[in-house]
Amino acid sequence: MRAEDVRVCVLRMEGTNCEDEMALAFEMVGAKAEKVHIKQLSGSAPAAMRRDLEDYDILAFPGGFSAGDYIRAGAIFAARLKSQVGPQLRAFVEAEKPVLGICNGFQILVELGLLPAMDDAMSPVPTAALYNNDSGRFECRPSLLRCDSRGKCVFARDIPNGKVLTIPSAHAEGKLMSMDPDFVAELEDNDQIVFRYVAPEGDAVYPWNPNGSPSDIAGICNPAGNVMGMMPHPERVLTRFTHPDWTRGYDSEEGDGLAVFRSVMDHLIG
Amino acid sequence: MTVVEIRIELKKGVADPEGSNTRKTLESLGFEGVASVKTVKVFEVDIDAPADRAAEMGEEMCRRLLANPVIQNYKVTVR
């Protein structure tokens, strides 16, 4: 597969607001990205507007406040998608096509049951939650993320284990929770922990861990490694000019976030 | 028409920043002895079905959309 043949579906609905950056990110690594409204996947859309999930190679859920965060962040997007194209979505994931969710996109993946998905590719009810930050506030600042993937996640393929990236956080509900007390250890054993919050020195105490997630988890993937969700926004640091330190000695030509998108392209192109 | 009341509350041990903030503010207004404040969400759903069927539907609504079992409990009452 060539880069220009990779088709990306950036799925949006009322209230998503990061679809432009998400589509740009995939375009910058050579893919063809299309912003698709959730209504275009349902049979009720006019024929010319109709899109099929199976025609795409990557599915991406952008950040924002889908459906106004009513009920719970991501719950309405997830319920609508499941009711309209549930079987197609499951087939997409089971074919090991890459699926990415950032911020509200991560919340949607958890509500869909696509993450952490330890027992089934798409669980019927959520098996985790992204709940209110411990601070009770919207947290918005650059975070330091260490890549802890040991090679399973396709979105971290090109990022060396232990490398630290500077990526902005901007969320009110980012604390990963589960009913299973051994949750973190299981994620660790399965190589499902992709990114952790770290501090410049010492432990990632607040505000380096902005939400109180256990074990400083910032991003996880499913057991197969093709579905990843993360709270911070790599699509906001595509060029050096949006890196917070770009005037203070940041010497890379590209932004730290681009590596996530390049990784999945390298995975597909081989 | 059956009126179904669906009450969604946070599980014990799940932080409730809105509740604890409200408690602090009530205290600052001079209310004494406010031990805790919890926020709960109530949906009132009018369903065109008999009571038992409506209650079943309410439960199903919780499972499929209204509650996340990791953090929330729900209670369905037919009124």
The tokens of B42 are what? 């109530």
pLDDT at A60: 98
| pLDDT level of residue A42 (50, 70, 90 thresholds) | confident
What is the ipTM, given to two decimal places?
0.87
- In the residue annotation, A96 being an active-site residue is answered as no
Judge whether A17 and A45 are in contact, CB under 8 Å. no
Chain-chain contact of B68 with A179 (C-beta, under 8 angstroms)? no
**Is residue B1 predicted with pLDDT exceeding 90?**
yes
Q: Nearest to residue A116, comparing CAs of A102, A95, A130, A98?
A: A130
A227-230 sheet: strands from edge to edge: A32-37, A7-12, A58-61, A99-102, A227-230, A217-221, A193-198, A139-147, A164-171
The SS3 assignment for A236 reads: helix
Percent of chain A with pLDDT over 90: 97
Interface of B with A in 35-64 (CB under 8 A): 63-64
Distance CA A237, CA A267 (A): 21
pLDDT at A38: 96
Cβ neighbours of B66 in A, within 8 Å:
71
pLDDT at A43: 78
Q: Does B21 touch chain A (CB under 8 A)?
A: yes
- In the residue annotation, A235 being an active-site residue is answered as yes
pLDDT at A99: 98
Distance CA A9, CA A37 (A): 9
Distance CA A127, CA A105 (A): 16
pLDDT at A270: 83
**Is residue A150 predicted with pLDDT exceeding 90?**
yes
Chain-chain contact of A136 with B21 (C-beta, under 8 angstroms)? yes
Judge whether A108 and A77 are in contact, CB under 8 Å. yes
pLDDT at A32: 98
The C-alpha torsion from A74 through A80 and A86 to A89, rounded to 10°, is -50
Percent of chain A with pLDDT over 70: 100
**Is residue A178 predicted with pLDDT exceeding 90?**
yes
Q: Nearest to residue A231, comparing CAs of A216, A245, A243, A246?
A: A216
Among A43-52, A57-66, A113-122, A215-224, which is the least confidently predicted range?
A43-52
| pLDDT level of residue B53 (50, 70, 90 thresholds) | very high
The tokens of A73 are what? 């962040």
Report which DSSP code applies to A160. Answer: P
Distance CA A126, CA A164 (A): 30
Q: Which CATH architecture has domain B2-78?
A: 2-Layer Sandwich (3.30)
Closest Cβ–Cβ partner in B18, B21, B65 for A71:
B65
pLDDT at B14: 93
Chain A residues interacting with chain B (CB cutoff of 8 angstroms)? 71-72, 75-76, 79, 111, 125-129, 131-132, 134-136, 177-179
- In the residue annotation, A233 being an active-site residue is answered as yes
Question: Beta strands A58-61 and A32-37: pairing type?
Answer: unpaired
Closest Cβ–Cβ partner in A79, A136, A179 for B70:
A179
pLDDT at A28: 97
Chain-chain contact of B18 with A177 (C-beta, under 8 angstroms)? no
Q: Which residue of A has its CA nearest to B19?
A: A136
| pLDDT level of residue A44 (50, 70, 90 thresholds) | confident
pLDDT at B67: 97
Give the minimum alpha-carbon distance from B61 to chain A in angstroms, rounded to a whole number.
Answer: 11
Q: Which residue of B has its CA nearest to A127?
A: B70
User: Which domains does chain A possess?
Assistant: 3-269 (3.40.50.880)
Give the minimum alpha-carbon distance from B69 to chain A in angstroms, rounded to a whole number.
Answer: 7
